[in-house]
């Protein structure tokens, strides 16, 4: 989305400066506490953004599909990474150097506008995460977790047919594959999605966002 707003000279510099890295399933795209020197995007695959508390509890923030970018907050604040990003399947990551990111901030109003909208979308996502982590049971958490994959500023390439396993959904929702399967079957009976071999088709994104089990 942001690249379409650049002029030819800006895009040429981005293409010249960008590098790509392969991250195998289970590998880390980045670690909590790392210095932040790149803005990072998912070229292909599925990533999980999470953090582990001092007591050993893992908190999952969100999943990121191809087209999603992250790390802008740490770059803007010039701080170390606040979370881990783990590949749930073999993935490829695009890396934009800090200098290129800062240059775009200085030279592209549309790029700044995109970042403003992206940060606003991420803030809304994290506010909703606090709500459903504290007040919603597992079926509703799975519904909200799937709905979170359909924000145009955070996962612009997400189509209504998701090639995602029930095990991966469990990882994203911090639950077991078996419990995720139960939740998905309930959401299918409610007409919000359709289970398919190797993935799910989302039929009602708004219904997932607002779902509460009765």
User: Which tens digit of pLDDT belongs to each residue from 192-213?
Assistant: 999 988 889 999 988 998 887 6
Query: What is the Cα 11 distance to its own chain's centre?
Result: 24
Q: End of a domain among 126, 157, 173?
A: 126
154 in the same domain as 179: yes
Residue 28: exposure state from Cβ atoms within 10 A (0-12, 13-18, ≥19): middle
User: CA 168 to CA 45: how far, in whole Å?
Assistant: 12
Q: Is 70 exceeded by the pLDDT of residue 66?
A: yes
66 in the same domain as 20: yes
Find all residues with CB under 8 Å of 99, minimum gap 6, and list them.
Answer: 17
What pLDDT was estimated at residue 140?
A: 87
105 or 173: which leads in pLDDT: 105
User: Which tens digit of pLDDT belongs to each residue from 123-172?
Assistant: 887 777 766 655 568 898 899 888 888 877 888 766 678 888 888 888 88
What pLDDT was estimated at residue 131?
A: 64
Considering the domain boundaries, does residue 132 fall inside one? no
Considering the domain boundaries, does residue 131 fall inside one? no
Q: What is the mean pLDDT of residues 64-81?
A: 91
Q: Nearest to residue 150, comparing CAs of 203, 110, 112?
A: 203
145 in the same domain as 117: no
Q: Nearest to residue 174, comparing CAs of 60, 65, 88, 85?
A: 60
What pLDDT was estimated at residue 54?
A: 73
63 in the same domain as 161: no
What pLDDT was estimated at residue 214?
A: 60
User: Which tens digit of pLDDT belongs to each residue from 83-137?
Assistant: 999 999 999 999 999 999 999 999 999 999 999 999 998 888 777 776 665 556 8
Report the number of distinct structural domains present in the chain. Answer: 2
Q: Is 80 exceeded by the pLDDT of residue 53?
A: no
CATH of the domain at 93: 2.60.120.10
What pLDDT was estimated at residue 27?
A: 96
Local confidence band at 34 (pLDDT 50, 70, 90 cut-offs)? very high
Quick one: tokens of 186?
């309930």
Domain that holds residue 48: 3-126
Q: Which pTM value belongs to this model?
A: 0.78
188 or 210: which leads in pLDDT: 188
């Amino acid at each position: 989305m942001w690249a379409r707003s650049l002029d030819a000279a800006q895009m040429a510099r981005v293409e010249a400066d960008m590098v790509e890295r392969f991250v195998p399933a289970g590998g880390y795209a980045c670690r909590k506490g790392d210095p932040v020197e790149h803005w990072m995007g998912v070229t292909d695959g599925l990533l999980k953004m999470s953090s582990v508390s001092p007591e050993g509890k893992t908190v999952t923030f969100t999943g990121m599909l191809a087209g999603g970018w992250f790390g802008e907050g740490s770059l803007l604040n010039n701080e170390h990474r606040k979370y881990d990003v783990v590949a749930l399947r073999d993935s490829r990551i695009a890396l934009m150097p800090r200098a290129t990111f800062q240059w775009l901030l200085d030279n592209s109003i549309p790029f700044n506008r995109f970042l403003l909208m992206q940060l606003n979308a991420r803030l809304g996502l994290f506010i909703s995460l606090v709500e459903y982590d504290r007040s919603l049971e597992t079926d509703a958490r799975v519904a909200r977790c799937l709905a979170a994959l359909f924000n145009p500023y955070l996962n612009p390439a997400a189509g209504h047919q998701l090639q995602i396993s029930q095990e991966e959904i469990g990882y994203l929702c911090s639950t077991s594959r078996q419990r995720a399967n139960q939740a998905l079957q309930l959401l299918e009976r409610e007409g919000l999605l359709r289970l398919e071999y190797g993935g799910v088709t989302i039929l009602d994104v708004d219904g997932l966002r607002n779902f509460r089990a009765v």
